[in-house]
Amino acid sequence: MRRDHRPYIIKRLARRYEVWYVNHFLRPQFELLGRETTFMKPWHVEINGAPVFVGDYANVIATPDNKVRFTVWSNSPDEGFIRIGNYCLICAGVRISAATNITIGDNCMIANRAYITDADWHDIYDRSMFVGRSEPVIIGNNVWIGDSAIVCKGVQIGDNSIIGAGAVVVKDVPPNVIAAGNPAVILKSLDTDRQMQTRGDWFTILSHMTAEAEIKERNYLKGNTIAGWLRSMLFPAKGD
């Protein structure tokens, strides 16, 4: 669809249903789910194991063909966790799997189909061993992990760094660099003299724009009818 054909009231009801679904089905599965955290299609988010912590103002986007999966599966009942900071973006298809622990800082963006793991999930020689070698993963603040990138066990990624699409990160990445490739190598250093804007900064501005955005959305959907919305889904036409 080129545009949203839903009447404004339908869109509002859909959002309320998503909030209800999160609070009723997902929130009890998290050890912590921060305030003002939003989910798009939360019924396509899976939490397997515990504990999983997600901070304030996170955005989690899931789709039917690209579920978001948080998994904690450890050899020891007292070991293993996933901790995600404030203002993070988790896109469709992201998988985060911890046997020891995975810590992700504030303001991070994790793109479609990225995979973060702290374990091999099988021993090299004894392949009946279901976890294998495991080492913590630590991702700093304001890190951007590109589409389909893989971050492997024992890796630390420094603040503000960018991991390119499709990269396989098997060694530490320092702060303020761009790394890409398989295995990932440093391609460029960022200019630390330039001011860095974060998702947290954007949310601060957004909080003052909420009323204005609501008016714009209402105007954008003005004129949409339930009949037209149903027609666009059942009998889509050119230009829809």
How far apart are the C-alpha atoms of 7 and 228, rounded to whole Å? 9
d(CA 231, CA 134): 53
Rounded CA-CA distance 238/240 in Å is 6
Mind giving me the DSSP string for 17-64?
HHHHHIIIIIGGGSSEE-TT-EEESGGGEEEESS-EEE-TT-EEE-BT
Task: Calculate ∠ Cα 68-37-134, nearest 5°.
Answer: 45
Is the Cα dihedral 157, 162, 114, 109 positive or negative?
A: positive
CB count in 10 Å sphere of residue 46: 14
DSSP 82: E
The bridge status of strand 45-48 relative to strand 95-98 is: unpaired
Name the residues annotated as catalytic: 122
- How far apart are alpha carbons 146 and 107 in whole angstroms? 14
Burial class (CB in 10 A: 0-12, 13-18, 19+), 4: middle
